[in-house]
Amino acid sequence: MAGPVLRVENLNIWYSEKHVVKNVSFEVPDRSVFALMGPSGSGKSTLLRALNRIIDLYEEARVEGHVYFDGIDIYAPDVDPTWVRRRIGMVFQHPNPFPHLSIYDNVAIGPRLNRMVKNKKELDELVRWALEKAFLWDEVKDRLHVPAAKLSGGQKQRLSIARALALKPRLLLMDEPTANLDPVATEKIEELVISLKKEIPIIIVTHNPQQAARISDYTAFLYMGELVEVGPTSRVFTEPRSKLTERYLLRQI
Ligand code: ADP
Ligand code: MG
């Protein structure tokens, strides 16, 4: 059995003096969807941003603790944060393709910058692969050269996912990717998350416990910066060990 893709150990995060993530530890098994749920302001986005060192770009943030990615401590002094961000992709709440770039170029830009392909044919294949994995290929294959701005909200979010996938990440982080989408667009993204996990494990932040229940194998509940509960989703939802989790699932907090 392979080890976990990610192991978080005693992680603490501050913004200036404000302690936002408090001594959090958990493991993310390979080939799984791991949901990080909790009310607004509980520190989900902050924690997620620390898992691929995007948080380094927030000047006022300070991180202590360890995050082991396939056994490598990504906060060790000799680790290049750019390498970490390339290997651990991220998708945000607001779909953010470059609106004036074509659908094709939005996906191709990462592989080009990182010199991942030798020629146009290889690039075409990689773009197609990423769009297929993001459940978007069939809808856009005849108009790859129209600007991304022409797409619907759900399509833009799937394009953001394709762009992240084109870098062939080992792990994908998603911060409330369906928060701004209608139920049909949401369902598509949930389906694609489930279909991806065999190849690419996913950590998804959600403030919607039903979404965690629908798509995840493991669920963690974060409340006021503390990891209240973590375990297999079926267990967390049927036999929560903490009163706080129970109250959250009953929508009392
Ligand atoms: P969530 O994603 O669960 O809503 P966040 O991680 O965004 O929670 O926020 C956790 C806490 O950190 C909140 O109190 C929020 O106001 C604060 N916070 C978030 N981002 C910053 C920042 N860049 N600077 C200072 N405080 C922040
Ligand atoms: Mg957030």
| Ligand nearest, relative to CA of residue 24 | 1
For residue 24, what are the β-bridge partners? 11
- Ligand 1 centre to CA of 9 (Å) is 21
Element (H, E) at 137: helix 137-140
Laid out side by side, the sheet with 72-73 consists of: 18-28, 6-15, 61-69, 72-73
Residue-level pLDDT at 2: 67
Residue the block writes with tokens 């060192």: 53
pLDDT at 1: 54
Residues with CB under 6 A from ligand 1: 15, 20, 38, 40-46, 58, 60
Edge-first strand order for the sheet with 33-37 is: 88-91, 171-175, 202-206, 33-37, 218-223, 226-232
Q: What is the Å distance from ligand 1's center to 15 Cα? A: 8
Which tokens go with 201?
A: 């494990």
All structural domains of the chain:
4-98+169-250 (3.40.50.300)
Ligand nearest to the CA of 36: 1
| pTM (2 d.p.) | 0.97
Residues of the chain with pLDDT under 70: 1-2
Alpha carbons 7 and 4: distance in angstroms, whole number: 7
- Render pLDDT for 225-248 as a digit per residue (tens, 0 to 9): 999 999 999 999 999 999 999 999
Q: Give the integer Cα–Cα distance in Å for 219 and 129.
A: 29
How many Å lie between the centroid of ligand 1 and the Cα of residue 46? 6
The residue whose C-alpha atom lies closest to atom 10 belonging to ligand 1 is 43
DSSP letter (8 states) at residue 54: G
Ligand 1 atom closest to 222 (CA): 3
Q: CA-CA distance, 198 to 161, in Å (whole number)?
A: 16
* C-alpha dist (Å) from residue 62 to 36, 46, 52, 57, 249: 21, 11, 14, 11, 31
Q: Give nearest CA residue, ligand 1 atom 7.
A: 45
| The pair of three-digit structure tokens given for residue 38, joined into one six-digit string | 């909790």
What per-residue confidence (pLDDT) applies to 253? 87
Mutation choice for ligand 1 from 14, 15, 58, CB with most ligand atoms inside 8 A: 15
